[in-house]
Amino acid sequence: MPLEGQLVILREQRRDDLAFLTSLQNEPQTQAWSLALPPDFTDVMYEKRYEAREFSYDPDEARFVIVLKETGELVGQIQYTGLERRWSAALGIITASKFWGTGVALDAQEVLLRFLFCELGLRVVRLFSHSGIPRAARLAEKSGFQVSGRMRQSIIKYGGLHDNLVLDLLREEYFARHPELADTLPAL
Amino acid sequence: MPKAPFVGKAVTLRPFEIDDSKALRDYLNHPELMGRRHIPWGYPEFLPLTEPQVHGLLERWATEERTVVLAIDAQVQRQGWGLSGEASQASQLIGHAEFSWGWDPHAPSVSVVIDPSQQRKGYGSEALVLLLEHLFAFTPAHNVSCWIAEWNEAGLSFAAANGFQTAGRMRRVGMYEGRPFDLIITDLLRPEFQARMAERGAAEQAQE
């Protein structure tokens, strides 16, 4: 069963998605780190990356395709990386620009956060962004993330210097925002 | 003639050799360093390291990409023995210094670890300055960060004394003595370091 929200479902990547994922990566505006990578990804590169994934009972990351429930359109990709079991992971999200401002990114983010806190039992979820893309930090803040670290002038983007932002969301902060969910894990 | 790299008044930074493994293990296993040894991910933070683990660590430091770890040597006073009992000076491994730039040499991180029995003698600050001089002279580094556990008061004082400013924190990175703790992020910009060095140079000239 896919992970499901009000507007979107998150499901595994499929071979048919690869052209969409390549185009998503090649649209500079939609890269999470915006212009950090050259927009020259090919379908073959993505296919190799897709083929390289092996089955594991102990994965430390997951990548999901975001699909619009109503139409089945592909919206973007959301992932977590650097999983420390029962402790932490970092979240990243990319959505096609035509879906910006529609609420689907926030819905996808909430679906993944629920999985990370309720199913994986994490104590904190992190997110890294920079001051050159305030839209990304604003999206994170809508789910309760707060900017806890700001490294000055440590990112070069758009021909200038920007601050590197460390954002995080603690388990108790997440559950305080979601009274409909009960947290039965004892506090540390 | 250009100044010799990594050679200071009291300390010298150099590559690690296999022969260093015993001295390295001795100070890494000092109880006061537990949790603040700045060793790679995957090694136990709060347990003594075995001889094979230290060999593995040296191998990893030698081969890890985008990371440089240097041994810190100092001229250390040694207690004399025998009939004369005279003290003598000898070069000794007292710690390690690291810089790592991940995917962006514009914003590397640094760390300095000193054997607790050799702390508070100025060795760490001198090693850090040598490291920063190299980073700002031979790489495009602009923001250098130093990440320190919030319970490591000595480390936080050390960073502040060397011009690093608090940039925030990464919350809840682990457990320490029964409680979750945060990492404090500190950073130093190229012009800030250059201004500190200019001030220091002027002060030294005035003293001469």
Note the pLDDT tens digit of each residue in A37-87: 788 999 999 999 999 999 999 999 999 999 999 999 999 999 999 999 999
Determine the average pLDDT of the residues in A151-160. 93
Q: Could A188 and B175 be called an inter-chain contact, meaning their C-beta atoms sit closer than 8 Å?
A: yes
B171 touches chain A (CB under 8 A): yes
- Could you tell me the pLDDT band of residue B1, with boundaries at 50, 70 and 90? low
pLDDT at position A72, please?
A: 97
pLDDT at position A39, please?
A: 86
DSSP secondary-structure letter at B62? H
A102-148 per-position pLDDT tens digit:
999 999 999 999 999 999 999 999 999 999 889 999 999 999 999 99
- Could you tell me the pLDDT band of residue B5, with boundaries at 50, 70 and 90? confident
- Could you tell me the pLDDT band of residue B122, with boundaries at 50, 70 and 90? very high
CB B64 within 8 A of CB B75: no
A167 CA to chain B: closest CA distance, Å? 8
A19 touches chain B (CB under 8 A): no
Determine the average pLDDT of the residues in A144-159. 95
pLDDT at position A36, please?
A: 74
Q: Give the Cα separation of B66 and B62 in Å (integer).
A: 11
Residues 23-82 on A with a CB inside 8 Å of B are none
CB A38 within 8 A of CB A90: no
- Could you tell me the pLDDT band of residue B3, with boundaries at 50, 70 and 90? low
CB B135 within 8 A of CB B110: yes
What rounded mean pLDDT belongs to chain B?
Answer: 93
All residues at 6 or more sequence positions from A182 whose CB lies less than 8 Å from its CB, including other chains: A175
Burial B32-60 (b: 16+ CB within 10 A, else e): ebeebbbbeeeeeeeeebeeebbeebbee
pLDDT at A88 over 70: yes
The domain defined by B11-207 carries CATH number 1.10.8.50: no
pLDDT at A30 over 80: no
Determine the average pLDDT of the residues in B77-94. 76
CB atoms inside a 10 Å sphere around CB A152: 20
B12-68 per-position pLDDT tens digit:
999 999 999 999 999 999 999 999 999 998 899 899 999 999 999 999 999 999 999
Determine the average pLDDT of the residues in B86-102. 90
Which whole-number Å values give the CA distances from A8 to A15, A102, B182, in the listed order? 20, 11, 34
> Burial of B17 by CB count in 10 Å (0-12 exposed, 13-18 middle, 19+ buried)?
exposed
Interface mutation target, options A122, A153, A172, chain B, most CBs of B under 10 Å: A153
All residues at 6 or more sequence positions from B147 whose CB lies less than 8 Å from its CB, including other chains: B109, B111, B170, B183, B184, B185, B186
Tokens of B206: 């005035």
**CA-closest candidate to residue B20, choices B118, B107, B91, B101:** B91
Domain boundaries, chain B: 11-207
**Structural domains in chain A plus CATH codes:** 3-177 (3.40.630.30)
Which residue in B104, B172, B189 is closest to A153 by CB distance? B189
pLDDT at position B80, please?
A: 67
Residue A180 phi, psi dihedral angles, 5° rounding: -75, -15
Determine the average pLDDT of the residues in A146-165. 95
B145 contacts on A by Cβ (under 8 Å): 151, 154
